[in-house]
Amino acid sequence: MRIVVGILIFSLIILIHELGHFIFAKKNDICVQEFCIGFGPTIVGFTKGETKYSIKLLPLGGACMMLGEDEDEEANRDPRSFGAKSVWARMQVVLAGPVFNFILAFIFSLIVIGTVGVDVPVIGSLKEGGAAQSAGIKPGDVITSIDGEGVSVYRDVDNIEAFCRSNEIEVAYLREGQTFKVKLTGTPVPGTKLTDFGFKSGAGRVRLDFFNTVKYSANEVFFWIKTTLKSLGTLFKGRADVNDMQGPVGVVKVIANTYDRASNDGIFYIFINMVNIAILLTANLGVMNLLPIPALDGGRFVFLVVEAIRRKKLNPRIEGAVNVACFFVLLGLMMVVMFNDIRKIIFPG
């Protein structure tokens, strides 16, 4: 059951992403040849109008295939092909997938925060003798910023260890209406690349009124966008490597493990935990697809921006070759990540 739930959540997120491309393709009168969930051989499908709708054998993916999308010069002579449309129309189609992921993350955030509240950045407890306690921070203090970056949820405090740039940070906090600033010097966590600044736990979640629920739901989406970008930063800075990345197999395993941990607390907590992890995944997918890498939505958008500036189309053969080359590089990376996911399942630890 837990594996099925994992696949369903992952498939839903992909479905919404591709639905964004599909809706805006139709809106701009672009011929959609196939709309599918999954990869590989078709299990079930039907054709309505010009579009084939199908479910493929491998459920971890999906596609919205448009006429002329692959920069085929002959196909692009058709006025309803992707390449024949205006730059603005193509930009809409390309950006719609990631934007739909962020909208889905916002809707899921409304569900979670409206149901169980938000983890306000209030200190619940500190590590005895840790840097935070030694600097005068106390339970009940409200953390407002870390190194000049605003804090909206307690998870920003939790993430200090993973994303801090050095072993020294500046923390601003609020106590009885007065703002204080202190510098904390952390200690390395043995066997890791992390730094411990002495924070232990937050004060818990707080239920909000309607308008603050909407506000914090938007903050939740930005939190996960920011966290994804910071995680990519650790990869480029050498604080993480490919072995720390997770592909579809690893994601499904994480969902399954989360399902198992929540199952002891009942259906309600299973539901909340599944929606919570879906927020992370859909925001992550939106960010990853916006990276300016050819073959991804972000790379295509960059090509379109260049085209708009030049007021002239790029050579379709060059653009197509770059996209294909990057696609195979990304496919190779995905295979490496998937192999690592499977290896970790077979040989844990």
| 108 is a domain residue | yes
| Distance of alpha carbon 199 from alpha carbon 130, whole angstroms | 8
The domain boundary residue, chosen from 206, 224, 259:
206
Average pLDDT, integer, range 42-51: 92
- In our burial notation (b when 16+ CB lie closer than 10 A, e otherwise), range 300-331 reads bbbbbeebeeeeeeeeeeebbebbeeeeeeee
What pLDDT is stored for residue 257 in this prediction? 66
What pLDDT is stored for residue 99 in this prediction? 97
Higher pLDDT residue, 100 or 76? 100
Q: List the helix and strand counts (H, then E) for the chain.
A: 10, 12
What pLDDT is stored for residue 242 in this prediction? 52
- The tally of domains found in the chain comes to 2
Give one word for 69, left, alpha or beta, with left for phi > 0 and alpha for psi -120 to 50.
alpha
Residue 138 is part of which domain span? 119-206
Is the confidence at residue 28, as pLDDT, over 60? yes
Is residue 9 located within the same domain as residue 53?
A: yes
Q: Is residue 170 annotated as a catalytic residue, yes or no?
A: no
Is residue 111 located within the same domain as residue 123?
A: no
What is the maximum span of the chain, computed from C-alpha positions, in angstroms? 71
Is residue 132 located within the same domain as residue 36?
A: no
Is the confidence at residue 11, as pLDDT, over 90? no
Beta carbons of 292 and 299 less than 8 angstroms apart: yes
What pLDDT is stored for residue 248 in this prediction? 55
* CATH number of the domain residue 154 falls in: 2.30.42.10
pTM to 2 decimal places: 0.84
Q: What is the dihedral of CA 79, 80, 86, 88, to 10 degrees?
A: 170
The domain boundary residue, chosen from 178, 206, 234:
206
What pLDDT is stored for residue 16 in this prediction? 95
Q: Which of 18, 69, 71, 319 is catalytic?
A: 18
